[in-house]
Amino acid sequence: MEALDPIETQVLTTDDVELAGTLLRVGDLVAIPTETVYGLGANGLAADAMDRIYAAKGRPSDNPLILHVCNQSMVHRLVRHITPLEQTLMDTFWPGPLTITFEKSALVPERATGGLSRVALRCPAHEVCREMIRIAGVPIAAPSANRSGRPSPTTAEAVLHDMKGRIHAVVDAGPCEIGVESTVVQVEGDTVIILRPGGVTKEMLEMVADHVVYDTALHDPTEAPKAPGMKYRHYAPDMPVQVLVGSSSAVVESIQSKVPMYKRIGLFLSQQTWDILIEALGIKPTTISEDTHVSQLASFGVGADTQDIVTIIFGETAEPVSLANQLYEGLLAFNEKDVDLLIVEGCKKEGLGVAVMNRLEKASGGQIYIIE
């Protein structure tokens, strides 16, 4: 990654929205809270400000940015036209975790769209975020505020871990509510094409559109995805990751067969699976700490030739909403724990589970095992 001259990163609070909005307007980089993940914000009409986003993230220049607006009236000067279905999507899902791509107007710099003719727009549900955009008075370009390829940040601490010294400020508004990014869609005729699954599910889109399909590139690796960012390795922690999907007892059986092969293994599990595992291994955790926002972290040794098992529990059962909520923070927490292999209990590809499993597929480089 290119070396940048370090800048002092201010940590702001939600009382500082006036300052944050002003910094954004004048071209500074400010990490902003949204309901999905923290974004790395900059003035979306200023090419030089967006250049700084690409440099700070180490992001490939063909991967376009989402412009964030504070209301629908901001959209009109950024797009050439709005179709009735696009209008319905905005009326139904904004403010919220839905990003819609439109034919861009001349006002939108090519820098925002990586040279594409369409611009991606989203109006976030997070009120502090919308207030900052209103004060800035311009659309705010904001990719997730991680270094390219790493898990997205859902807390200000995670932003600082990747971006301290590279951005002017971060606005700390606590953990993000949803935990995975927005759904990115493109409308073609009467069809909504999902380019990236996210916070607004296919089932939700089907309530207002007759035809909702996934971009075929999402399940065919030989095709170029319409959202350029989907082709890159992503969300990856530092160690190898395997994802197991199945009943708790099937997951436990598979974990038991792997434990002896690793010195230090990480487990990201539901409470239910964890309880069965403890029973099966006949051990009790030696330490339980609350040192992350994720619910519980336990570490213990097994057998004479001690192996360490580091576990984080993400929820009662392997249910998409809680897994989404804890996903990136969990992956980042394991980076600190120096494990040789991370096993993640996945969930069904239903509702928000489609987005969660899409992120886990990227994080694991495709190492997903269905064991039912």
The amino acid at 278: I
Taking the C-alpha atoms of residue 99 and residue 36, their distance in angstroms, rounded to an integer, is: 12
Cβ nearer to ligand TXA, comparing 36 with 273: 36
User: Residue with the closest Cβ to ligand TXA?
Assistant: 229
Instruction: Tell me the per-residue interface mask from 124 to 143 with ligand TXA, x by CB under 6 A, - otherwise.
Output: ------------------xx
- 228 binds ligand TXA per the rule CB under 6 A: yes
Report residue 249: phi and psi, to 5°: -70, -35
The backbone torsions φ and ψ at residue 44, rounded to the nearest 5 degrees and listed phi first, read -80, 0
Pull the structure tokens for residue 222.
């030989």
Distance CA 66, CA 350 (A): 25
In this structure, what token pair is assigned to residue 19? 């300052």
- Partner that binds at residue 182, options ligand TXA, Mg ion, none, CB closer than 5 to 8 Å by kind: ligand TXA
Nearer to ligand TXA, 227 or 343 (CB): 227
Please report whether residue 182 would count as binding Mg ion according to CB under 5 A.
no
Residue 85 or residue 265: which is nearer to ligand TXA going by CB? 85
Closest CA relative to residue 307, chosen from 349, 331, 341, 345: 341
Tokens 């992956």 sit on residue: 331
Binding of residue 155 to ligand TXA (CB under 6 A): no
Q: Among 33-41, 266-274, 303-311, 323-331, which window interacts with ligand TXA (CB under 6 A)?
A: 33-41
The pair of three-digit structure tokens given for residue 93, joined into one six-digit string: 């899902």
Site for ligand TXA in 257-296 (CB under 6 A): none
Of 324, 32, 322, 29, nearest to 173 by C-alpha is: 32
Residue 33 or 246 having the CB closest to ligand TXA: 33
Choose, by CB under 6 A, the member of 20, 90, 120, 167 that binds ligand TXA: 120
Among candidates 329, 343, 340, which has minimal Cα distance to 268?
A: 343
The binding site for ligand TXA (CB under 6 A) comprises 34, 36-37, 39, 63-66, 97, 99, 101, 113, 116, 118-120, 122, 142-144, 181-182, 184, 195-196, 226-230
The binding site for Mg ion (CB under 5 A) comprises 144
